[in-house]
Structure 1
């Protein structure tokens, strides 16, 4: 058993061609949403996604930082 060997996508060839074309020309990326096991086989749900713009990235980073600081403050207030 080789756990990290390449796996095949179980899709119709036209679906693979469609996804490959969109990822190459339009700046989209194929992203795995969920990986699960069913009847002894691993299954993966995938989606096409577009990357964030610079201002969106900064905004999400700001909200992450605020949540992190709030969590740390709550942790320190409970420790006292």
Structure 2
């Protein structure tokens, strides 16, 4: 009996990441969250567009990601912009640390989703694009749209 593929449903997506950065490699990581934070994440109350990942003392840290306070959380709510630890293997953290030391390279969150009940985040190693690279992407996207429009009719 074949397993059914889960439908890809993301709780949050960083749409500008692939436009602003040339993503070379991606990793899937778990996020260390408190009880009220995971409830907010499951309700899609998370914003990752301004977030980035730093490596500090052998730990990958998710910085500047906003997880809204849970409405019924009371005193258990924590700071919405606190730094959260990412759960990765040591060799993956070493790869990220090596990449982050290069000039012009940033580690950015791409997508947040649930996998087997756990919150996961897809992170990517990205090199900042120049303005002319972005223009080429826009031009290619417009050409693809125009082709699809012509073949539709």
| Residue 42 (structure 1) aligned with residue 119 (structure 2) | yes
The unaligned stretches of length 5 or more in structure 1 are: 67-80
| Residue 4 (structure 1) aligned with residue 81 (structure 2) | yes
**Distance (Å, rounded) in 2 between the aligned partners of 1:56 and 1:45:** 24
| Residue 16 (structure 1) aligned with residue 93 (structure 2) | yes
Cα distance, 1:53 vs. partner? Answer: 1.6
How large is the Cα RMSD of the aligned pairs? 2.5
* Misfit runs of 4+, over 6 Å: none
**Distance (Å, rounded) in 1 between the aligned partners of 2:104 and 2:86:** 21
TM-score (norm 1): 0.57
The higher-RCO structure (CA 8 Å, 6+ apart) is: 2
Which protein is bigger by CA-based radius of gyration? 1
**Distance (Å, rounded) in 1 between the aligned partners of 2:119 and 2:81:** 13
More helix by share: 1
Number of residue pairs matched by the alignment: 62
More strand by share: 2
**Distance (Å, rounded) in 2 between the aligned partners of 1:19 and 1:48:** 8
